[in-house]
Amino acid sequence: MGLEIENVGVRFGSFEALRSVNLTVDDGAFVTLLGPSGCGKTTLLNVIAGFLKPTSGTVRMDGMDISDTRPEARDTAMCFQSYALFPHLSVRENVAFGPRQKKVPKNEIVQRVSKLLDQMGLDIHAEKLPNALSGGQQQRVALARALAVAPGIVLFDEPLSNLDAKLRDQVRTEIRALQREVGFTAVYVTHDQAEALAMSDEVFLLNKGVVEQSGAPREIYFRPRTSFVADFIGAANLHVGKIKDGAMATPFGPLGVRGADALNKTVCWRPEVVRLGGDLQGAVTASAFQGGHLDLFVSAGDQTVRLQVPGSHEFDVGDEVSFGLDPENVVVLADEGHVDA
Amino acid sequence: MPRYLRIVLLLTPGLGLVVVMMSMVIYRAVAQSFGLYNFGGEDILSLAHWQEMFDNRRYWSALRWSGYIATTSALLSVALAYPLALWLRRPFFGSTILSAMIKAPYFVPGLVAAFLLINVISFHGFVNEFMIWIGLWDKPVRMQNDENGYAIIGLQVWKQLPLAFLLLLGSIQSIPDSVLHAAQDLGAGTLARFRRVVLPLTMKAMQAALVLIFIGAAGDFSFQAIAGPARKNSMATLMTQLQGSNYSDWNGAAVVGVTLMGLSLVGAVALAGFVQLMTKFTENVR
């Protein structure tokens, strides 16, 4: 089921939580709404679910305007951050809640619930109450409960934020695999950029109530449009300055840039695109061995950049290091931005 | 010192006093109903006072009346408190004032409330005077001491609704919004959410409210004495009539008192059981 959000705005008094947001989700796609706390991503999810009525704009599902449709009548199901399982019902009853509400025939409910419990590895916990389950198991029950109504779109509201790191990775993989297997359309809210990059077909990065940039994870990561995107997604080195004759002067030396001459521009590059040896130079101020690679913090003038070099190299604080970059790995950003030294 | 002994010693000053006082009263009432502690004559252990009461139509009438008033008041109070508690579960502009207004009757003594109502509904009370003044009625209508006990039930609900409201509000507020949203998201409309989520999750509070209101209303004296029908007694008014006035029938009054305690116990258990059954039934009806 496809989803279209057209010029959706949400206002709480004088505060604008969403400002003319537009996005399109293809049928069967897994998209992520990513952004820092307070950027409006959960507000947008609530608008899609119907819990919140937009102040302006339209929400369409498969071309049909559902802006005024009540949540219970929408073809969506949500996995909540807090799981929101019904504490008085067993795992089986929780999963069967939706189909019963939608008047699915009894035999089909039994089959559907059993299949989902089996698929999620919850069959042995079917008669337990939610409080007898671990966080990961509760998350799986929430997912099974959402899928039991066979929704057109499954909405995920930071579903992994209450799990520990190892479990988060495991459940993340499970959700993505299940989405591919079942083929439902997924809208996933997270503030974790690694989660967004790993899971999504498309990422919508929100900032202060607007979509700052959208695209495939690789595009967002390697071709950020603004300094906010570059800074929020992964580690980024930013420089502000004048571009002249394909280079920008930095305290490290001239940085090759593929862009037209401009007076005040921000450019960005990722720490891992660097190679040792080149025209740029600085002094190591800190290093951190990460196993596969070495994180180096290199300073020149009042600026510090982060480099990622193979873990086989060794540097001490104070060592001089020279490095270089291919100009195609340096992105000229649309905004003037700022540099956090 | 063994742990259980320490617990017993720590609980004794508070719980012990309550238990002793309650036991004394219950023992005394039960003993008196069987002819002991007889203030009007010799102590004779006998079933005669019970037999006498069982043959007395006023006793059965009072028992039925108190049961009717208590059950109706408890059910009505809870039924009216639910929508109010659901409405006021989240704060909004003016909700504090509304909440305070709902709770206010709890702090008005029952006797005062009954007199206030009499002022409103009596033959020359506010309602009659007003209706005649605007020309809708030609002469005053008799509303006071109605045979169906509507005035008493109204007073009981007015007085006891705050208790039901407070108990239910706390319980409803403890249900996270996300749980209600989840039910809605899965297709449950307003009634279905109430029946399948709110009701089961607030069952304990509802049981507590029903039981407390039932016990309070079953033992009512002041509303019955002031606003009740002249030809009917509640258990409490019958008890005072037997013991007071010309009868001085302490043993008969003790029989009524013990019956009243029994009514409270049976009624409370029956209402709690009814709620439990109802919750199970509504969960099974899809």
Average pLDDT, stretch A228-242? 89
Measured between CB atoms, does A94 come within 8 Å of chain B? no
Q: Which residues are CB-contacts of B174 (< 8 A; sequence separation ≥ 6)? A: B201
Instruction: State yes or no: pLDDT of A340 exceeds 50.
Output: no
Residue to mutate among A43, A48, A72, with most B CBs inside 10 A, is A72
Question: Between chains, do B184 and A72 touch, taking CB under 8 Å as contact?
Answer: yes
Residue B62 lies in a domain: yes
Residues 52-81 of A with CB under 8 A from B: 70-73, 76-78, 80-81
Contacts of B176 in chain A (CB under 8 A): 82, 84
> pTM of the prediction?
0.80
CB contact under 8 A, B176 and A100: no
Give the CATH number for residue B166: 1.10.3720.10
According to the model, what pLDDT value does residue B282 have? 67
Q: Do B185 and A77 touch (CB under 8 A)?
A: yes
Mutant choice from B186, B191, B203 vs A, greatest count of A C-beta within 10 A? B186
For residue B275, give every residue at least 6 positions away whose Cβ sits within 8 Å of its Cβ, in sequence order, or none: B203, B206, B207, B210
State how far residue B76 is from chain A, nearest Cα, in angstroms: 26
Distance CA(B17)–CA(B28), nearest Å, equals 16
CATH of domain A3-222: 3.40.50.300
Q: What pLDDT is stored for residue B284 in this prediction?
A: 58
How far is residue A199 from each of residues A64, A185, A319, A327, measured CA to CA in Å?
28, 13, 39, 29
Looking at domain A239-332, its CATH superfamily turns out to be Nucleic acid-binding proteins (2.40.50.140)
Cβ–Cβ contact B284 with A under 8 A: no
The verdict on residue B29 lying in a domain is no
| pLDDT of A51 over the 90 cut | yes
Give the span between the Cα atoms of B34 and B37, in whole angstroms: 9
B residues 124-153 lying closer than 8 A (beta carbon) to A: none
Whether A88 and B201 lie within 8 Å, measured CB to CB? yes
With 0-12 / 13-18 / 19 or more C-beta atoms within 10 angstroms meaning exposed / middle / buried, residue A14 is exposed
For A15, half-sphere exposure in the C-beta direction (CA atoms, 13 angstrom radius) is: 7
- CATH code 3.40.50.300 region(s) in chain A: 3-222
Domain contains B98:
yes
Q: Which residue has better confidence, A297 or A169?
A: A297
Kindly list the residues from chain B whose CB atom is less than 8 angstroms away from the CB atom of residue A86.
179, 182-183, 197
pLDDT in tens, B123-160: 888 999 999 999 999 999 888 888 888 989 998 999 99
Cross-strand partners of B5: none
Q: Do B181 and A100 touch (CB under 8 A)?
A: no
pLDDT for B263 equals: 94
Burial bucket for residue A113 (CB in 10 Å: 0-12, 13-18, 19+) = buried
Of A70, A84, A103, the CB nearest to B182: A84
Contact residues, chain A, for B200 at CB < 8 Å? 88
- Range in A201-210, A330-339, B55-64, B129-138 with the lowest mean pLDDT: A330-339
Residue-level pLDDT at A313: 87
Using alpha carbons, select from A111, A60, A334, A58 the residue that is nearest to residue A213: A334
Kindly state the percentage of chain B with pLDDT values over 70: 97
Taking CB atoms and an 8 Å limit, are B185 and A87 in contact across chains?
no
Q: In the prediction, which pLDDT does B247 show?
A: 65
pLDDT score at B278: 81
User: CB contact, 8 Å: B188 with chain A?
Assistant: yes
Flag residues of chain B having pLDDT under 70.
245-247, 282-286
Neighbouring C-beta atoms of residue B15, cutoff 10 Å: 11
Distance (Å, whole) CA B260 – CA B57: 16
User: Confidence band (pLDDT; 50, 70, 90) for A135?
Assistant: confident
ipTM of predicted complex: 0.81
Residue B243 resides in a domain: yes
The answer to whether position B182 is within a domain reads yes
Q: Give Cα separations from A57 to A5, A18, A19, A44, A155 (angstroms).
A: 8, 11, 10, 12, 20
Q: B189 CB near a chain A CB, below 8 Å? A: yes
Whether B2 maps to a domain, the answer reads no
Asked if A88's CB is within 8 angstroms of B182's CB, the reply is no
Q: CA A124, CA B157: separation in Å to the nearest integer? A: 48
Least CA distance to B195: which residue of chain A?
A101
From the list A87, A103, A149, the residue facing B186 with the nearest CB is A149
Cα–Cα distances in angstroms (integers) from residue A115 to residues A98, A144, A155, A243, A254, in the given order:
15, 10, 21, 60, 62
The label of the residue with tokens 């291919």 reads: A326
Residue A209: the pLDDT is 92
A 10 A CB-CB count for A40 gives 24
Region A233-251 average pLDDT: 89
- Structural domain range at position B144: 57-284
Side-by-side strand order, sheet with A303-310: A303-310, A293-300, A275-289, A320-324
Q: Report the domain count for chain B.
A: 1
Of B179, B197, B286, nearest to A100 by CB-CB distance is B286
Yes or no: say if A10 and A208 are a contact pair by the CB < 8 Å rule: no
Q: Chain B within 8 Å of A101 (Cβ-Cβ)?
A: yes
* B90, B175, B185, B190: best to mutate for the A interface, most A CBs within 10 A: B185
pLDDT of residue A336: 63
Q: What is the pLDDT of residue A341?
A: 39
Tell me, yes or no, whether B138 lies in a domain. yes
Does B34 map to a domain? no
